[in-house]
């Protein structure tokens, strides 16, 4: 069982990223044939941020409301991803990972849950629940980057404490962070590792699934 946190940034660029979604579908179907199972937690990405920005301009100030707006976008994206895998997927999109679901299908699709964090938190929660050791965070960067002498350097491994030191401490709606701080605290507590991989190059995911090689950043 693999848990994937699928960044919304991969699903929608300027338009719906049909090319990525087609490749992702074929990629996953190929691994279903090999007996693998997936939990795919779908993010809201740029679309969520656009809505949140619009709402802020309209003087909507409540952080909870902005988060709920973001969650609604994750549901929209999750529905599209669900449709790609309808034949193989549990027939409901999980919007509350606390619910006990005994699924026999090969895929479970989840979306955002509640204010205060991103879908990374949902992915971490589900990883613990279904006993996965990793959350695979498919995103649109190659690595977690750190600043050293004014240069940005991609790092291959970080402990949770090292990672938590370089990202913002506090949650806010639409926060940019390769893996969100609240989810990171949870993953640290649960001793779950996170693998940051660029989803635009699915051969990286292939290398991880087949050889356990991380060509991205391994946290934890």
Interface residues toward ligand UTP, by CB under 6 A: 7-9, 43-45, 48, 66-67, 70-71, 74, 112-115, 117-119, 121-122, 139, 173-175
Nearer to ligand UTP, 113 or 163 (CB): 113
Nearest approach in angstroms of CB 7 to ligand UTP is 3
Of 68 and 133, CB closest to ligand UTP: 68
Of 89 and 119, CB closest to ligand UTP? 119
d(CA 66, CA 138): 24
Of 67 and 90, the one with the shorter C-beta distance to ligand UTP is 67
CA 168, CA 160: separation in Å to the nearest integer?
Answer: 13
Other Cβ atoms closer than 10 A to 24: 23
User: Where does residue 116 fall: left (phi above 0), alpha (psi -120 to 50 degrees), or beta otherwise?
Assistant: left
Minimum Å gap between C-beta 122 and ligand UTP is 5
CB of 29 to ligand UTP, least distance (A): 22
CA distance 116 to 35: 35
Helix axis angle, 18-33 relative to 202-211, nearest 10°? Answer: 20
Residue 17 beta carbon to ligand UTP: minimum distance, rounded to whole angstroms? 12
């Amino acid at each position: 069982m693999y848990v994937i946190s699928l960044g919304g940034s991969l699903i929608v660029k300027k338009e719906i990223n049909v090319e990525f979604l087609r490749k992702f579908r074929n990629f996953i179907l190929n691994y279903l044939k090999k007996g693998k199972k997936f939990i795919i937690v779908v993010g809201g990405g740029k679309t969520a941020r656009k809505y949140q920005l619009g709402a802020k301009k309209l003087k909507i100030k409540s952080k909870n409301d902005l988060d709920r707006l973001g969650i609604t976008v994750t549901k929209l994206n999750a529905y599209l991803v669900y449709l790609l895998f309808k034949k193989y997927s549990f027939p409901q999109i999980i919007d509350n990972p606390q619910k006990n679901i005994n699924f026999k299908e090969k895929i479970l699709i989840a979306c955002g849950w509640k204010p205060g964090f991103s879908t990374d938190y949902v992915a971490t929660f589900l990883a613990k629940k279904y006993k996965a050791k990793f959350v695979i965070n498919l995103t649109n960067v190659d690595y977690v980057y750190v600043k050293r002498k004014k240069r940005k350097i991609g790092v291959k491994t970080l402990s949770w404490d090292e990672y938590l030191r370089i990202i913002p401490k506090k949650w806010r709606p639409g926060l940019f962070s390769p893996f969100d701080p609240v989810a990171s605290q949870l993953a640290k507590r649960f001793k779950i590792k996170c693998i940051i991989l660029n989803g635009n190059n699915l051969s990286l995911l292939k290398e991880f699934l087949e050889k356990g090689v991380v060509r991205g950043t391994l946290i934890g």
